Amino acid sequence: MAENEVWVYSENKNVCLELLTAGKELSEKLNVPLASLVLGHGVKDVAEELSEHGPNKIYLIDHASLERFDSMSYAAAIETIVKQEKPKILLIGATKRGKELAGRLAARLNAGCMSECTEVDIGDDGSVIAKRAAYAGMAVATEKCKSTPAIVLLKPGRYEKAPSGGKGEIVELSLEIPEPSLKLIEFKPKEIKAVRVEEAEVVVLGGRGIKKREDFQMLEQLAEMLGGCVGCTRPIAADLGWYTEWVGLSGVAIKPKLYIGVGVSGAIQHVAGIKDSKVIVAINKDPEAPIFKSADYGIVGDLYEVIPELIKALKEVSKKEG
Amino acid sequence: MRVIACAKYAVDVSELRFDPSTGEPILAGAKMKLSDVDKRAIEEAIRLKEKHGGHVTVLTVGPESAKMGLREALAMGADEAYLLVDPLFEGVDTLVTSLVLKKAIEKLEGFDLIICGEATSDGYSSLVGPRLAGLLGIPQVAYVKRIVEVKDGSIVVERDLEDGYEVVEVKLPALLTVTREINEPRIPPLPAIMRASKKPMKMLSASELGIPSELLGQDGSAVQILEAKAPEIKRKGVIFEEMPADEAARKLVEALIREGVLGG
Ligand SMILES: Cc1cc2nc3c(=O)[nH]c(=O)nc-3n(C[C@H](O)[C@H](O)[C@H](O)COP(=O)(O)OP(=O)(O)OC[C@H]3O[C@@H](n4cnc5c(N)ncnc54)[C@H](O)[C@@H]3O)c2cc1C
Ligand SMILES: Nc1ncnc2c1ncn2[C@@H]1O[C@H](COP(=O)(O)O)[C@@H](O)[C@H]1O
């Protein structure tokens, strides 16, 4: 049996590599093996690849019912092997699919689950502790989980990807797995941008103050001059669909050296994702907008007047320098 | 169609203050309201009833003061509300919250659909919905941004995932968690608020729900919060206002040069 092992799982391979780094730290502290779960159909190559990034074992469940990610059949499969092998800790990537899976799995196992964690560790008494944002990102909470297994949802982007090295043993398990409960009718992929906002040094970020999609060109131009990229608030992406991802509590967290929020009110869920930026600039026509409270520099004014002037002022500077 | 909406009466995070000396949240007397997305869960339940007929029940695990939130739900158009209230339900984790909801649901007359929010505005775990579906052993679909169609015995919904939108059909009874984008909740007019005071609101305690006390409170919770503190963030707060846009822009560029954040 695999009692006390540390297990990691994410449906996303890159996130899984991050979990292997976090998992390795825990397994070394506890002096127990580290294992990674691979679920799907025709995924032996994924298992092979992950086995070369540090885990002692890979539990591979390859089954036709796991062809597409389905939180219910996936939870059922993991429930079965957890009950069989009794790991101590289960790290799951806090993607949307991961959270949906973890909640259901935690209920099936009557286990505790710590969500949206940014760090995980072992406490002095051997318990699993984790840090997470609390109150919509205004505070940082430290939590402790007393159940076995302890389920920890780790936010992507917090740990480095595990480097290659070693060769874990692949343990293939065959289980009875229920058919997926959802019938897929259509999948409309989102177009993923080449430049990733979480990696940019400068982020020019537009909010609802921007009236038309075309007007974002102005921000694209500004971002290009500053060597950065454009981001947006949740309503711009999720309500209007002008971009695919947004910045904030429920989106990506960024920490550029320069953030310029344009027509952004500064709701706490948004600020939660930008507060680690080095310099925060806000441009808003409402002097009472909460974003000014989180800003190093602000311009109170109409963005349609300010942005062209800002572009002009930057051109003058680069002319002088050039 | 019998729909249950689960809604938390949550700390209004935008009004929450922190003790400047300890960094801890000042929860005593903090303003509370229906959690943002949960209000949309209630709204969606009411819209389903308006379109397909049926009955809407709203469930809240929370303090006495949560009656205010449930009154609002009734005024919006819910038919009945249950406040699950007991000192043993306070400060509990998602394991206990979902257990209490499950026990209350088992007391109701059955349901076709349960609607939760994607996450609460203060707890932000996104766990109670999937946990509840897991306890009840019914299928779940999280992050639903649109209900496409209600069929006989199933429902078609569209959900918003990181890499795409997925349209799926799920058999009823099922549980959905909905996103902030699913609707714009109505603001009930005065007569509806008056009428709501006559609608049924019931309170149920741990013993009325038949839950042994060791499964509740701190003992029953698997996750315990050791501390919560607001890190102190200092921002300069230099605001350029009441000046022409070109002047403000020039001043900003100068400041950014001084900060060393312009160029390579
Ligand atoms: C559970 C949950 C999670 C959430 N997660 C996120 C998240 O991750 N990220 C996120 O961004 N939001 C998130 N939100 C939404 C958040 O609460 C706000 O609704 C959102 O951030 C507001 O976006 P906004 O600033 O673009 O729009 P608004 O709040 O509408 O602000 C627009 C601003 O533009 C200004 N403006 C208008 N016209 C002009 C002009 N001509 N010139 C200059 N200024 C102008 C206005 O003064 C206003 O301040 C979440 C909400 C919930 C409930
Ligand atoms: N105390 C509560 N009472 C009723 N429903 C709740 C409660 N807490 C959470 N929920 C439901 O579960 C969802 C997710 O909550 P959370 O896991 O806290 O993010 C919420 O949007 C609600 O629909």
The number of folded domains in chain A is 2
How many Å lie between the alpha carbon of B183 and the closest alpha carbon of chain A?
10
| Encoded tokens for A313 | 């002022």
Residue B137 has a pLDDT of 97
Which CATH number covers residue A240? 3.40.50.1220
A235 vs A199 pLDDT, higher one: A235
Contacts of A267 in chain B (CB under 8 A): 14
- Identify whether residues A29 and A137 lie together within a single domain: yes
Choose one of B3, B4, B6 to mutate for the ligand 2 pocket test, by most ligand atoms within 8 angstroms of C-beta: B6
Q: What's the rounded mean pLDDT across residues B197-211?
A: 97
Choose one of B44, B94, B97 to mutate for the ligand 2 pocket test, by most ligand atoms within 8 angstroms of C-beta: B97
Instruction: Tell me how far the alpha carbon of residue A89 lies from the centroid of ligand 1, in angstroms.
Output: 38
- Identify whether residues B162 and B36 lie together within a single domain: yes
- Identify whether residues B51 and B86 lie together within a single domain: yes
- Identify whether residues B143 and B185 lie together within a single domain: yes
Closest ligand to C-alpha of residue A246 is 1
Which of A74, A113, A151 would you mutate first to test chain B, the one with the most B CBs within 10 A?
Answer: A113
Residue B90 has a pLDDT of 96
Contacts of A189 in chain B (CB under 8 A): 163-164
Instruction: Tell me how far the alpha carbon of residue B203 lies from the centroid of ligand 2, in angstroms.
Output: 18
Instruction: Tell me how far the alpha carbon of residue A110 lies from the centroid of ligand 2, in angstroms.
Output: 17
CB–CB contact B262 A226 (8 Å): yes
Which CATH number covers residue A44? 3.40.50.620
- Residue B47, in any domain of the structure: yes
- Identify whether residues A279 and A217 lie together within a single domain: yes
Host domain of residue A84: 6-172
Instruction: Tell me how far the alpha carbon of residue B73 lies from the centroid of ligand 1, in angstroms.
Output: 25
- Residue B227, in any domain of the structure: no
Which of B155, B252, B254 would you mutate first to test chain A, the one with the most A CBs within 10 A?
Answer: B252
The CB-side HSE value for B122 (13 A sphere, CA atoms) comes to 22
- Identify whether residues A140 and A14 lie together within a single domain: yes
Whether B264 shows a pLDDT value over 70: the answer reads no
Alpha carbon of residue B79 to chain centroid: 19
Contacts of A124 in chain B (CB under 8 A): none
- Identify whether residues B178 and B250 lie together within a single domain: no
CB–CB contact B235 A295 (8 Å): yes
A269 close to ligand 1 (CB < 6 Angstrom): yes
- Identify whether residues A213 and A153 lie together within a single domain: no
Whether A244 shows a pLDDT value over 80: the answer reads yes
Instruction: Look at residues B103, B92, B42, B40 and name the one whose alpha carbon lies nearest to residue B62.
Output: B92
Q: What's the rounded mean pLDDT across residues B112-123?
A: 97
- Residue A297, in any domain of the structure: yes
- Residue B196, in any domain of the structure: yes
- Identify whether residues B163 and B257 lie together within a single domain: no
Residue A2 has a pLDDT of 72
- Residue B22, in any domain of the structure: yes
Whether B232 shows a pLDDT value over 90: the answer reads no
Choose one of A249, A252, A262 to mutate for the ligand 1 pocket test, by most ligand atoms within 8 angstroms of C-beta: A249
Whether B143 shows a pLDDT value over 60: the answer reads yes
- Identify whether residues B263 and B161 lie together within a single domain: no
Looking at A172, A193, A216, the residue that finishes a domain is A172
- Residue A189, in any domain of the structure: no
| Encoded tokens for A308 | 């062209």
- Residue A252, in any domain of the structure: yes
ipTM over 0.90: yes
- Identify whether residues A161 and A268 lie together within a single domain: no
Looking at A172, A188, A211, the residue that finishes a domain is A172
Whether A30 shows a pLDDT value over 80: the answer reads yes
How many Å lie between the alpha carbon of A43 and the closest alpha carbon of chain B?
20
- Residue A289, in any domain of the structure: yes
Host domain of residue B257: 234-264
Mean confidence (pLDDT) of chain B: 96
A242 close to ligand 1 (CB < 6 Angstrom): no
- Identify whether residues A207 and A140 lie together within a single domain: no
- Residue B229, in any domain of the structure: no
Which 3-state string (H, E, C) describes chain A?
Answer: CCCCCEEEECCCHHHHHHHHHHHHHHHHHHCCCEEEEEEECCCHHHHHHHHCECCCEEEEEECHHHCCCCHHHHHHHHHHHHHHHCCCEEEEECCHHHHHHHHHHHHHHCCCEEEEEEEEEECCCCCEEEEEEECCCCEEEEEEECCCCEEEEECCCCCCCCCCECCCEEEECCCCCCCCCEEEEEEEECCCCCCCHHHCCEEEEECCCCCCHHHHHHHHHHHHHCCCEEEECHHHHHHCCCCCCCECCCCECCCCCEEEEECCCCCHHHHCCCCCCCEEEEEECCCCCHHHHHCCEEEECCHHHHHHHHHHHHHHHHHHHC
- Identify whether residues B85 and B110 lie together within a single domain: yes
- Identify whether residues B214 and B238 lie together within a single domain: no
Pick the residue from chain B with its C-alpha nearest to A141: B228
- Identify whether residues B245 and B215 lie together within a single domain: no
Whether A195 shows a pLDDT value over 80: the answer reads no
- Residue A13, in any domain of the structure: yes
Which CATH number covers residue B178? 3.40.50.620
Residue A3 has a pLDDT of 79
Side chain identity at residue B77, one-letter code = G
- Identify whether residues A61 and A133 lie together within a single domain: yes
- Identify whether residues B172 and B251 lie together within a single domain: no
- Residue A179, in any domain of the structure: no
Looking at A151, A172, A193, the residue that finishes a domain is A172
A271 close to ligand 1 (CB < 6 Angstrom): no
Q: What's the rounded mean pLDDT across residues A132-160?
A: 96
How many Å lie between the alpha carbon of B125 and the closest alpha carbon of chain A?
5
Pick the residue from chain B with its C-alpha nearest to A153: B125
- Residue B228, in any domain of the structure: no
Residue A1 has a pLDDT of 60
- Residue B179, in any domain of the structure: yes
The number of folded domains in chain B is 2
How many Å lie between the alpha carbon of A282 and the closest alpha carbon of chain B?
9
Instruction: Tell me how far the alpha carbon of residue A192 lies from the centroid of ligand 1, in angstroms.
Output: 22
Q: What's the rounded mean pLDDT across residues B57-72?
A: 97
- Identify whether residues B20 and B48 lie together within a single domain: yes
CB–CB contact B127 A113 (8 Å): yes
- Residue A193, in any domain of the structure: no
Instruction: Look at residues A149, A194, A186 and name the one whose alpha carbon lies nearest to residue A3.
Output: A149
Q: What's the rounded mean pLDDT across residues A279-301?
A: 98
- Identify whether residues B192 and B244 lie together within a single domain: no
- Residue B225, in any domain of the structure: no
User: Model's pTM, two decimal places?
Assistant: 0.95
Within B188-228, residue ranges assigned H as helices are 190-196, 206-209, 217-220
Pick the residue from chain B with its C-alpha nearest to A315: B253
- Residue A134, in any domain of the structure: yes
Contacts of B131 in chain A (CB under 8 A): 103-104, 106-107, 113
Q: Using the 8-state DSSP alphabet, how is residue A236 labeled?
A: I
Q: What's the rounded mean pLDDT across residues A196-203?
A: 92
Contacts of B241 in chain A (CB under 8 A): 287, 298-301
